[in-house]
Chain A
């Protein structure tokens, strides 16, 4: 099976290790990976801020970049949700592009979703000792309906104890530009999230969206809390090395 990786702008620029991990995990499970270099960003920052014309420029580029791909996998529930829910609407008045957008929608999967639903992986050689909790990101859980898949994958990692996170349905306060525009509200939200994370006694916070993890991680850093932040792909990749 051949898969094209949509890295997402955040992982590309700030968290390349997430992408490297995705490549490693996919490869270990017998998947061939390519990376269409023409890809940029899904356009969500502009779309959510109300700049739909500018978002459309980005969307058009992404559609072009993956036109030849059979399957697109991305390590972000939020970006996958952007494509799935809003791309068709963006091109509703351009039939040719609407069809192209729909094609991308139909072949795009979030990382955990792809591993569990399409690849149906059973990994038995993963080991990573530690106590962790999982942050369920809103766009992934509500937008894509993916809640159990990442947990199922984490359950395949020997030695990793994953504790339920109280108030797991509540947003961490990221919300893209919300975190900067409404920083005073976002601060209270991320602090509450961190209190809940701390209450689990976890030493690792695992997530599926680098936006959320950048927010929570950034606040953990600022408040000097010693909790490690990892993407699901990083956990699986690291687990494979031990």
Chain B
């Protein structure tokens, strides 16, 4: 599932050196942050909403099996097909199988993060099917042969100039850098693709169990065209996308759009209830819903279960001070930011993603904004604990913390250590400042100075004169 090519620290270095990211990410973050805050203020009792929606999501996750059953039964009742894919490979097989059966030449896709987990486009292209992403951001990064760098703003890292160059190549003529010209080119070009496509593939923001409906949230209208014009519609759905009923959906969608962009509601909220019925003017004849596990069910019942509540709004990315500086690609997985740092090691293991839980200052900004109250930074601490227990941390670090545990639980030893600190660390100091240190200390002093421990510690001061002052 991973898209990483370079080791973590090289990815970070590359991101930090990127002048476009340096400007674009903070700008986008500021816009999204302000939108979210304004939307929350308008609601007034936003914290109560968070509690409520968190409870809805938790209840759903705890009863996922029965809700999925209910959803699948209702879809089938209305003539849709339901497939279950345990793994990414199985999902690919199901979807390429449908494409083969339909003799598909072109597929249009509206945004689907879960499809990124299995590099679906690559698999379809390998069998000779053209795939066209129709979400504007996704279209841009498809042309650039890149992966999304933000959950809801996948091309956050591309400039207008870069977009103009990419579009000009498709157009066969030089386009300006004006947003209106670039958008109208994309609209024209994509309209053609919608009309010619054999299959439309969409994601699934929410699946309503009580009616077997798929709900898509979008701002560009491409999701509607994707799910209406082609004869066949395939829905790629992460198994945790379920909501029990329309009443719960109302709450969850309200929180999604407000937390994502600050919108009260997205431009389009599309509910798909069944394949085309006789009286319908349009719509696909065939609807296939692929319910994808791909590592999700193994999270159920673990300390990380709450991560499955995620509704993919991206609010945690927008407030994250680490994401602000490294952007999405440095995370190396399909999902970036704090939720990516939680999910990627769960999906793909610590071998591949052992650094991600440490790529956080544990400031808690993510946890504070999460509309479904996932304790994101605490799950990162949980990952760190598991990494230690499973032996993913260096022996030297292990030893250091063993020493820490010993010293801090033996006050007389601690006392001595504090006494020795001034002289001991003094060998590295000049004029009371340490500018270069060994090992872990080196990471600190690479960037900033460290004061030499005080000549007289507080505890010594207390013994000598503080006691009487206290």
A residues engaging B (CB < 8 A)? 7, 11-16, 18-20, 23-24, 27, 32-35, 37-41, 43, 45-58, 60-61, 65, 138-139, 142-143, 169-171, 173-190, 192, 214-215, 217-219, 221-222
Could you say which of B326, B364, B458 has the most chain A C-beta atoms within 10 Å of its C-beta? B458
Closest to B443 in A: A180
Q: In the complex, which residues of chain B have a beta carbon less than 8 angstroms from the beta carbon of A56?
A: 405
Q: In the complex, which residues of chain A have a beta carbon less than 8 angstroms from the beta carbon of B13?
A: 184
Closest to A175 in B: B361
CB distance from B325 to the nearest CB of A (A): 4
Classify chain B's interface size: 35 or more
User: Would A14 and B361 count as touching, CB distance under 8 A?
Assistant: no
In-complex Cβ contact of B451 among A53, A173, A179, A214 (8 A): A214
User: Would A27 and B469 count as touching, CB distance under 8 A?
Assistant: yes
CA of A18 to CA of B397 in the docked complex: distance in angstroms?
A: 30
B residues engaging A (CB < 8 A)? 9, 12-13, 16, 319, 321-322, 324-326, 358-365, 367-368, 381, 383-389, 393, 397-398, 401-402, 404-411, 414-415, 418, 421, 433, 435, 440-444, 446-451, 453-454, 456-459, 461-463, 466-467, 469-470
CA of A32 to CA of B468 in the docked complex: distance in angstroms?
A: 11
CA of A33 to CA of B85 in the docked complex: distance in angstroms?
A: 64
In-complex Cβ contact of B404 among A18, A58, A139 (8 A): A58
User: Would B470 and A176 count as touching, CB distance under 8 A?
Assistant: no
Decide yes or no: A35 and B454 within 8 Å by CB, A169-B365, A222-B447 being known contacts.
Answer: no
Q: In the complex, which residues of chain A have a beta carbon less than 8 angstroms from the beta carbon of B405?
A: 46, 51, 53-58
Q: List 23 A-B contacts (CB under 8 A).
A: A7-B458, A7-B459, A12-B418, A14-B454, A16-B457, A19-B462, A33-B470, A40-B408, A50-B387, A52-B388, A142-B364, A173-B321, A176-B361, A178-B360, A179-B443, A180-B440, A182-B358, A186-B361, A189-B361, A215-B448, A218-B444, A221-B433, A222-B435
CA of A55 to CA of B381 in the docked complex: distance in angstroms?
A: 13
User: Would B447 and A179 count as touching, CB distance under 8 A?
Assistant: yes
CA of A38 to CA of B407 in the docked complex: distance in angstroms?
A: 12
Closest to B402 in A: A54
CB distance from B317 to the nearest CB of A (A): 14
In-complex Cβ contact of A176 among B362, B367, B406, B461 (8 A): B362
Q: In the complex, which residues of chain A have a beta carbon less than 8 angstroms from the beta carbon of B451?
A: 14-15, 214, 217-218
CB distance from A182 to the nearest CB of B (A): 6
User: Would A58 and B409 count as touching, CB distance under 8 A?
Assistant: yes
Decide yes or no: A189 and B385 within 8 Å by CB, A139-B364, A175-B361 being known contacts.
Answer: no
Decide yes or no: A45 and B447 within 8 Å by CB, A7-B458, A37-B411 being known contacts.
Answer: no
Q: In the complex, which residues of chain A have a beta carbon less than 8 angstroms from the beta carbon of B441?
A: 180
User: Would B365 and A23 count as touching, CB distance under 8 A?
Assistant: no
Q: In the complex, which residues of chain B have a beta carbon less than 8 angstroms from the beta carbon of A169?
A: 319, 365
Could you say which of A45, A54, A179 has the most chain B C-beta atoms within 10 Å of its C-beta? A54
In-complex Cβ contact of B466 among A23, A61, A143, A186 (8 A): A23
CA of A139 to CA of B364 in the docked complex: distance in angstroms?
A: 8
User: Would B361 and A27 count as touching, CB distance under 8 A?
Assistant: no
Could you say which of B9, B407, B441 has the most chain A C-beta atoms within 10 Å of its C-beta? B407
User: Would A185 and B364 count as touching, CB distance under 8 A?
Assistant: no
Closest to A7 in B: B458
In-complex Cβ contact of A190 among B421, B448, B454 (8 A): B448
